[in-house]
Chains A and B, each alone.
Chain A
Amino acid sequence: MSRPRVLLVDDDAGVRSAVTSALDGEGYDVDWFGDAVEALRQALAEPPALVLLDVGMPRLDGWELCEILRRQTQTREVPVLFLTGHTDVRDRITAMQVGGSDFISKPFRARDLRDKVRALVGRQTGGASGGR
């Protein structure tokens, strides 16, 4: 069985490295993108098991990218986990309103991220999480 693919979209190299190492060894293939437009192209071409999405990005922000994914047949059901530096409740509500599945505040603990990723990928694949 192939390993679930997680698409990580964040323009901050430090966050990309933290996420990759948190999910390392957990049975996921992490594809990362620093550019949201490139990530969108990849998500539409090959829908992942989960999208991990930053909010503030230059060419296309996370809210808009999520809204676009929700309108495409191939990505409508793909869970989106927002990685947000905002702690305001309103931002979290926005995350839900644009069709996000959950959020995690930056900085996050590796264990919390793993729990959320496992829950969302498990929900999507009907319980199968990780590839081991």
Chain B
Amino acid sequence: MIDELERLRLQRILSDWVTGLPLYPVADLRNERVANLGVIYLQIGRFAGIESVYGWELYDQVLRCVTESLRADLEASALRPCFLSMQFTGCDGFYLLFDLPADGTSEREQRLEKEAFRFRDGAMRRLSQRLGRTIVELMAVHCSAVYVPDDPRTRPARNVIRGLREAARLVETRESAERLKLVASCRSVLAGRKLHAVYQPVVSIKDNAVVGYEALIRGPHGELELPDVLFAVAHEADMTLELESLCLETIFAKVPRGVAGKKLFVNASPRLLGHSVFLDERNLQAMKRAHPEVVLEISEKEVVHDYSAFRETLDRLRHVGLQIAIDDAGSGYSGLESILQLRPEYIKVATSIVRNLHADTIKRQVITALATLGEQIQAPLIAEGIEQPEELDSLLALGVRMGQGFLLGRPQARIARTAH
């Protein structure tokens, strides 16, 4: 059993159980001479941090979906007879290796390229069907195809690895080109101030009464419409502060009358809140004039390095009547620290924790822990991203009294004054 155990341990290290695929590098091909190696590489990407925003469970689903898609498309592929192996990089990339027939080089390369795009389109389509459009907009699947003829002067293992590296480099180039284009679009959005706000109700779960609205920013129709994409691009271009300032300007330039008498939740990063322009008394007073009941949402995911300095900032904000909410609570699956340190007026429970909580013991435990902490510091919980009646029932059972999500109300551009 000891030898067998070593084999199983090695397999654990060299394979990924989520996708079921062997992990790169290609141990099984290292010493084989492949006459006409074809490499198709697919990479899930666009922006870093999908997993940290949406949680590992969703990312596991993405990986499983892409793996299944590749397997299905491979079975129907004209290249199926030449298939050698499929590998996973362990993070976000998939390699498909083929030993191609010896016919015309350019034709062979074209066929390989065509298949790469077919695999990519299949993966995007299935991701969209299974996980929804938003996810696909946030993460493109890029692909490349590389043909590597055998060269007797080189060692086969190095030849294979060079092919893989070249395929990854090509995807990187394509991704960079796409990013540059998006960054240029983002600059144009900022220069033209092409943002608008929509408002999602925050509701008392028991009686369905609207207690407030979260102002959410939208870009112009198209690839930068969703705030997650917009902020990811701005981050790439080091324009986050400019974008955030414009978001707040857009929201406070015209608060809808329907929000009067209710809380207005707005997102702001610790970096922006600590900025002298934001903390300027005139700016704070202008916000108060635009709406007297503002709750600033600070994401738990953003790292606060100096709690004592940040607490002083929050004290200044509270002094002018602004309230604080910790956003995305539980998304770090651990971070009760920031809540204890910052003593917010509200704790907003992350969508990733609320999703399917009725079927997940851990998520319910996380919410219970947050609720206990919330009681101690008198900060009620607001559950975000409620989409299913079962989630709502579980939240009520756990004592959560406020929530938002598609089930309770979609973001809307206009609010009727008589709403609720």
Contacts and interface: CB of A to CB of B under 8 A. Distances in A.
Interface in B297-314: none
B67 to A, nearest CB: 14
Contacts of A96: 362
Nearest to B1: A41
A67 B11 CA distance: 10
Contacts of A89: 333-334, 362, 365-366, 369
Contact of B9 (A41, A68, A99, A103): A68
Nearest to B11: A71
B418 interface: no
Interface string A33-58: 00001101100000000000000000
B361 A103 contact: yes
Interface in A78-101: 89-90, 92-93, 96-97, 99
Contacts of B278: none
Interface in B1-59: 1-2, 4-5, 8-9, 11-12, 15, 17, 20, 56
Contacts of B361: 102-103
Contacts of A67: 12, 17
A-side interface size class: 20 to 34
A47 to B, nearest CB: 15
B51 to A, nearest CB: 12
A128 interface: no
A71 B15 contact: yes
A37 B11 CA distance: 16
B209 to A, nearest CB: 33
A35 B258 CA distance: 66
B362 A60 contact: no
A125 to B, nearest CB: 18
A24 interface: no
A26 interface: no
Contact of B333 (A37, A68, A71, A93): A93
A90 B334 contact: yes
A70 interface: yes
B340 to A, nearest CB: 15
Contacts of B366: 89
A60 B11 contact: no
A37 B5 CA distance: 8
A70 B15 CA distance: 11
The winner among A41, A70, A71, A92 for most chain B CB atoms within 10 A is A71
A64 interface: yes
Given A64-B12, A89-B333, A97 B1 contact: no
Given A60-B5, A68-B8, A68-B9, A92 B15 contact: no
Interface string B314-333: 00000000000000000001
A71 B366 CA distance: 29
B8 to A, nearest CB: 5
Contact of A37 (B1, B20, B56): B1
Interface in B210-247: none
A40 B6 CA distance: 12
Nearest to A97: B56
Interface in B342-397: 361-362, 365-366, 369
Residue with the greatest number of chain A CB neighbours at <10 A, chosen from B2, B9, B56, B361: B361
A70 B17 contact: yes
A67 B20 CA distance: 12
Given A37-B1, A64-B9, A67-B12, A92 B334 contact: no
Nearest to A87: B365
B379 to A, nearest CB: 19
Contacts of A41: 1, 4
Contact of B362 (A70, A92, A99): A92
Contacts of A102: 361
Contacts of A60: 5
27 contacts: A37-B5, A38-B1, A40-B1, A40-B5, A40-B8, A41-B1, A60-B5, A64-B12, A67-B17, A68-B8, A68-B11, A70-B17, A71-B8, A71-B11, A71-B12, A71-B15, A72-B8, A89-B333, A89-B362, A89-B365, A89-B369, A90-B333, A92-B362, A93-B362, A99-B17, A102-B361, A103-B361
Given A40-B5, A89-B334, A99-B17, 16 more contacts: A37-B1, A37-B5, A38-B1, A41-B4, A60-B5, A64-B9, A64-B12, A68-B12, A71-B11, A71-B15, A92-B362, A92-B365, A96-B362, A102-B361, A103-B361, A103-B362
Interface of B: 1-2, 4-5, 8-9, 11-12, 15, 17, 20, 56, 333-334, 361-362, 365-366, 369
Interface of A: 37-38, 40-41, 60, 64, 67-68, 70-72, 89-90, 92-93, 96-97, 99, 102-103
For the complex of A and B, list the 3 residue pairs with the smallest distance between their C-beta atoms, beginning with the closest: A70-B17, A68-B8, A93-B333
